[in-house]
Structure 1
Amino acid sequence: MYVGFLEFPNSAAWFERQLEECCLDIPRDVSVSEQAVLDPNAFQTYASLLLDNRVAERNGNPYEGTPLSGISNLGKLLEMVVRKLDERRGAVTVDVQDLQGKGKNKTPYDYVRIEVGKETRVEVKTGRLSWNESKQNWYVVFSDVKFEEHDQLLLGFYLPNKFDVYVHNGKRGPSKHGKRTGTTGGTVSFNGPRNEKDW
Structure 2
Amino acid sequence: MPALRRVLLLLTPLTLFAALPAHAEDDSYQQMLQYLTHTRMDGQTLNNASGVVGVNMASGDFNQQTNVRALAVGDHAAIQVRTRQSRTTNVATDPDVASASIGGQAMQGAQGVFSINQASGNGNAERNVVTAALARQGIREAGDTWFAAASASAGGTVSPAPSAAAGKERAVAVESTAMQEVRGVVQLNQVAGSANAASNQLHLSISQPVQ
Range of TM-score over shorter length: under 0.3
TM-score normalized by structure 1? 0.21
Looking at secondary structure, tell me which structure has more strand per residue.
Answer: 2
Q: Which protein shows a greater Rg? A: 2
Q: Which gives a bigger RCO, structure 1 or 2 (Cα 8 Å, sep 6+)? A: 2
